[in-house]
Amino acid sequence: MSTPIRCGILGTGHPHAGGKVKTLLDSDNWEVVGIHEPDESWKARTADRPPFNQVPFVDADTLLADDSIRMIAIESEIQQLLPLGRRAIEAGKHIHLDKPAGVELPEFKELIDLANEKKLIIQMGYMFRYNEGFDVVRRAVHAGWLGNVNYIHCAMLSDINPQSRKEMAFHPGGFMFEIGGHLIDMVVLLLGAPQKVTPFIRHDGDFEDDFNDNTLAVLEYEHAMALVETSAIDTSGMKRRMFEVVGDKGTIIVQPHEAPVVRLHLKESAGGYAAGWHDIKVPFTGRYILDMVELARCIDGRQRFPYSTDHDYAVQETLLKACGVL
């Protein structure tokens, strides 16, 4: 882009905040004007630490009242995502809203309605939308390579330290609430909103805390089901993260997610691939980069934003059902 889009950051307490700030700073598409952190304890933890220390910390009005700033990235802890997002939308800014979409579904609906009224973009921070391995999965499903999809099995697994467990324990959905939305976003993109969601929310780690660290949700459809797993007590978690889609004519598997390794099995030839197993090589740009490229293009009017607020609402509703709170 010839002229970078001026942007700001609200909040620094999200686990992805550092990566998002670095991505914006490294991009020629963006000019980062400043960061506002409303919580003094978070400001004390982040202000002197890279990459946050490369951007001035300012008051909120400096960002929200500046008409030249067109986008605000909402990177606070989860409890503050929607209140800060609303302030940005009210000020007429497009937003990148990190995941999940807050705690209360009606509050998210109010934010969506306000953004739609003002014709502003809400880009959710679901990173598999911009993962090249998942691009192949979506192409395989939508082009019919796999036939009729009847089963999805996916997992997000990690080994979470005690401090992070304490910070995540505020929500009864535990690790499903923290990280399961990445998977649910992709399942809903492929199959739509489920007819029924059955959650299994457990605390199985040897920790004296209230963090539900071993969770599963079964999403049921008319002719399919999806199993969504999250675990915060898996020492091999990153390598075992997986997404598997099974149809009556084939199967596609991404494992691990990053950098993605894709395997495809076809009952009969499709999409330029012969029947049998195939290892499909895909690039891996990395997290957050393609998100911000697309958002810049959409704000600049060179591309239509591809994700609807109806989809984002369905994802959040499904996630809360998977957490056992709806």
Residues 183-217: tens digit of each pLDDT: 999 999 999 999 999 999 999 999 999 999 999 99
Query: What is the DSSP track for 167-199?
Result: HHTTSTTHHHHHHHHHHHHHHHHHH-S-SEEEE
Look up tokens 């998100």; give the residue: 291
On whether the CB atoms of residues 179 and 156 are closer than 8 A, the answer is yes
Give residue 216's pLDDT: 98
Q: What are phi and psi of 259, to 5 degrees?
A: -65, 140
Mean pLDDT, residues 322-326: 97
Mean pLDDT, residues 245-267: 98
Mean pLDDT, residues 234-257: 96
Give residue 237's pLDDT: 84
Query: What are the Cα distances from residue 136, in Å, to 147, 260, 263, 271, 303?
Result: 15, 10, 10, 11, 21
Residue 15: pLDDT band (50, 70, 90) is very high
Q: What is the CATH number of domain 5-125+289-303?
A: 3.40.50.720
pTM above 0.95, yes or no: yes
pLDDT tens digits, 294-304: 999 999 999 99
The topology (CATH level 3) of 128-286 is Dihydrodipicolinate Reductase; domain 2 (3.30.360)
What is the location of CATH 3.40.50.720 in the chain? 5-125+289-303
Mean pLDDT, residues 104-124: 98
On whether the CB atoms of residues 158 and 211 are closer than 8 A, the answer is no
What is the location of CATH 3.30.360.10 in the chain? 128-286
Give residue 1's pLDDT: 63
Q: Which helix (H) or strand (E) holds 280?
A: strand 276-280
pLDDT tens digits, 149-162: 999 999 999 999 99
Above pLDDT 90, what percent of the chain?
A: 98
- Name 257's Cβ contacts closer than 8 Å, sequence gap at least 6: 128, 131, 133, 134, 241, 242, 243
Residue 47: pLDDT band (50, 70, 90) is very high
Give residue 2's pLDDT: 75
Query: What are the Cα distances from residue 34, in Å, to 54, 73, 113?
Result: 9, 11, 27
Mean pLDDT, residues 278-307: 97
pLDDT tens digits, 216-233: 999 999 999 999 999 999
pLDDT tens digits, 77-106: 999 999 999 999 999 999 999 999 999 999
Residue 281: pLDDT band (50, 70, 90) is very high
Q: What is the dihedral of CA 262, 196, 184, 234, to 10 degrees?
A: -80
Look up tokens 């005690």; give the residue: 162
Mean pLDDT of the chain: 97
